[in-house]
Structure 1
Amino acid sequence: MSEQLDAALAHASRGWKVFPLRIGDKRPAVRDWETRATTDAVRIHRAWGSQRGARCNVGIACGPSNLVVVDLDTPAHGSPRPYEWDKPGIDTGADVFAALAEQHGEPPPFETFSVETVSGGEHVYFAAPDGPAIRNSAGKVGWLIDVRGAGGYVVAAGSKVGGRRYRSNGHAEVARLPRWLTAAIQQQPRPSTDLGRFLDVCQRPVLGPRWWPGESPRSGGVQAVLMAAPFFAVRASRMR
C-alpha cells in the first residue's frame, strides 16, 4: 500500500471526505471533487490502488467534512507589509493569528489538529460551527490568513509537492472554531470613511494639460486624482 493510500484511509477514518489530487501537485485530479469526495474505503482503494493512482496526492473537501481550515501563510519575498501589521514580532500568518486571539482576550487556538505546508505555513483544522456554512475567504480575517470551508479544499497530510511532504502535528482532536474567529470570518466588510491614506497614495504630479485654476503647466502643481470618488467629481464640476 502506498503512503498516499494510507493517508487517504487515515483521513477518511476521521470522517473527512477525500479525493485525489494530481501527482506532485495541489490541483484536483477529478472533476466535481466536492461531490465525489468520499470516506468509503472501497472507493478510496479504487482511486489510490493502481500504480498511477498510488502516487496521487490527497485532498480533503472541507465543507462535506464539516471542517473549517485556517491557512496561515508566510510572506512572499519582497511582498509589502500592511501598515497595521508593521509591528515587532509580526512576521507570519501564525503571528497575526496569535495577535488576533490576544486582542480578543483568548489564547492562540493552536491546540487542534494542524498540518505544516511545504511553503512553511500551517493549516489549522477546526470543526465547523452550527448555522450558516463558512465559505472560503482570503485575507478577510487578517494578513496572511485565508479560510477554507464550504466550496474549498486543502492538501492533506501525507501529500508531497516539490519533493516535500505535508506533515501533521499528530494532534488527535479537532477543536471547535472559536466564537471570536467565527465572528471575524462571518463579518461583512464595512466601507472605509478614512480618505487620508487614499489621498496620500493618489496624489501625483500633473503631467497632462490639466491644472488647478491659477497654475500653469510649468508650475509643477499637484492634484489629487479622485476618479474613484464621485462626490469629489460632482464638487469639481460645480466649481467650473
Structure 2
Amino acid sequence: MNELTQRALLLANQGFQVFPLEANSKRPLTEHGYKDASDNPAQIHEWFDNQQHHNIGLRLDTKQIVVIDIDHHQHGNGIDVLKQWQRQGMKLVPDYAEQTPHAGLHYFFSSQTVLADTVIVPNIELKTKQIIIAPSRIDGKAYHPIKGRDLVDLSPLPAWLMNKLAGQSSANNWHQDGLYKSWTGQLLDELVTGTEQGQRNIYLTSVLGKLLRTGCDSDTAHILLVFANEHLTPPLPSREINTIFKSILKRDSRRGDKTIGR
C-alpha cells in the first residue's frame, strides 16, 4: 500500500472525506470534484492504491474546517503579511499546518460559522470547501506537515480574523468610505467567486471580455483569466483556457479594426 493510500485511509478513519486530484496537479479527477469526496475504504483504494500517483484533496465543509492559504511566490509574499499581523498583535497559531511545495503555508482551523472562499488580502486566501493535502506532490515537491499530527480537535479561527471576515461580508458592495463598489471592484470579486461546472466556459469568456474592456494589457488579462480558472471546481484544462483567450482576443481585435475604419 502506497503512502497516498495510507494517508487517505487514515483521514477516512478519522471521519474525513477525500477525493482524487490529477498527478502533479490540484485539478480534481472526478466529475463533481470535492462533492464526490468519500470516506469509503473501497473507494479510496480504487482512487489511490495504484501507480497513478494521484494527489489527495480533502473536503472541508462537511467537517467545519477552514484553511488559511498563504502564498509565497515572486509576485507577492503572504508570509510578510503574517509577520505584519503578528507585530500588530493579530496572531495566527494553528494546531495543524502544512508547508506547500513552493514554500507557502496552509493553516488549518475549525469554524462553527459557515464561511465562503474569499481573498482576505492579496496572497492570503480563506479556503472553505476543499484543499490539497500532504503527501500530495507538485513539481516533484511534497506538501508536508510542519506543525501537529492530525486534523482532529483543531483550534477555532481567531476572533480577530472572524471579525475581519464579518466586516468584509457586511460591507458587501460598499467601500470603507461608504462609496458604492465600482464596476472594476465587482469584476475583481467575480474573479474569485467562480461559477458552476456547466457554466465554466461561459463564465470565463465573460470575465475575459470584461477584463479586456478595462484597457489592461493582454498579458495581464491572461494572468487574471488563469487565476479565475484556478478558482473553479474543477478548473478547465490549460488548452481550453488558451482557446478562449485567443478567440476573445481575436474577436476584440476585429472590433477595434472596424472602429478605426469608420
Q: TM-score range by the shorter chain?
A: 0.5 to 0.7
**How many residues are aligned here?**
173
Q: 1:95 is matched with which residue: 71, 74, 80?
A: 80
Q: Which residue of the partner structure matches residue 248 of structure 2?
A: none
Q: Secondary structure at the match of 1:146?
A: strand
Q: 1:155 is matched with which residue: 132, 146, 155?
A: 132
Q: 2:123 is matched with which residue: 126, 144, 147?
A: 144
Identity of aligned residues (%): 24
Per-residue deviation, residues 140-180 of structure 1 (Å, max 9, x unmatched): x223210100xx32110100111000001250352111111
Q: Which residue of the partner structure matches residue 39 of structure 1?
A: 39
Q: Which residue of the partner structure matches residue 8 of structure 2?
A: 8
Q: In 2, distance between residues paired with 1:9 and 1:180?
A: 35
**What is the root-mean-square deviation of aligned Cα atoms in Å?**
2.4
Q: Secondary structure at the match of 2:7?
A: helix
Q: In 1, distance between residues paired with 2:29 and 2:70?
A: 25
Q: In 2, distance between residues paired with 1:179 and 1:41?
A: 37
Q: In 1, distance between residues paired with 2:12 and 2:80?
A: 31
Q: 2:71 is matched with which residue: 73, 77, 89?
A: 73
Q: In 2, distance between residues paired with 1:98 and 1:61?
A: 29
In the alignment, is residue 49 of structure 1 matched against residue 26 of structure 2? no
Letter aligned with residue 180 of structure 1: W
- TM (norm. structure 1) is 0.64
Per-residue deviation, residues 184-218 of structure 1 (Å, max 9, x unmatched): 223234415499xxxxxxxxxxxxxxxxxxxxxxx
Larger RCO of the pair (alpha carbons < 8 Å, separation 6+): 1
Q: Secondary structure at the match of 2:81?
A: helix
How many Å apart are 1:21 and its aligned residue?
0.2
Q: Secondary structure at the match of 1:114?
A: strand
Per-residue deviation, residues 2-21 of structure 1 (Å, max 9, x unmatched): 11111212222333211000
Q: Which residue of the partner structure matches residue 57 of structure 2?
A: 59
Per-residue deviation, residues 117-152 of structure 1 (Å, max 9, x unmatched): 011100000012x23x111012xx223210100xx3
Q: Which structure 1 segments of 5+ residues have no match?
A: 82-91, 196-226, 228-240
Q: Secondary structure at the match of 2:30?
A: coil
- TM (norm. structure 2) is 0.59
User: Greater CA deviation, 31-40 or 156-165?
Assistant: 31-40
Per-residue deviation, residues 62-98 of structure 1 (Å, max 9, x unmatched): 212321000011142xx3x7xxxxxxxxxx3133134
Q: In 2, distance between residues paired with 1:2 and 1:170?
A: 23
Q: In 2, distance between residues paired with 1:93 and 1:51?
A: 35
Q: 1:166 is matched with which residue: 143, 156, 160?
A: 143
Larger radius of gyration: 1
1:134/1:41 CA distance change after superposition, 3 Å = same
How many Å apart are 1:31 and its aligned residue?
1.5
1:66/1:192 CA distance change after superposition, 3 Å = closer
Q: In 2, distance between residues paired with 1:65 and 1:72?
A: 21
Q: Secondary structure at the match of 2:108?
A: strand
Q: In 2, distance between residues paired with 1:62 and 1:43?
A: 19
Q: In 2, are the aligned partners of 1:34 and 1:64 still within 8 Å (CA)?
A: no
Q: In 2, distance between residues paired with 1:98 and 1:12?
A: 34
Whichever structure has more helix as a proportion of its residues is 2
1:101/1:28 CA distance change after superposition, 3 Å = same
Q: In 1, distance between residues paired with 2:156 and 2:162?
A: 10
Q: In 1, are the aligned partners of 2:94 and 2:107 still within 8 Å (CA)?
A: no
Letter aligned with residue 99 of structure 2: E
Q: Which structure 2 segments of 5+ residues have no match?
A: 180-213, 215-262
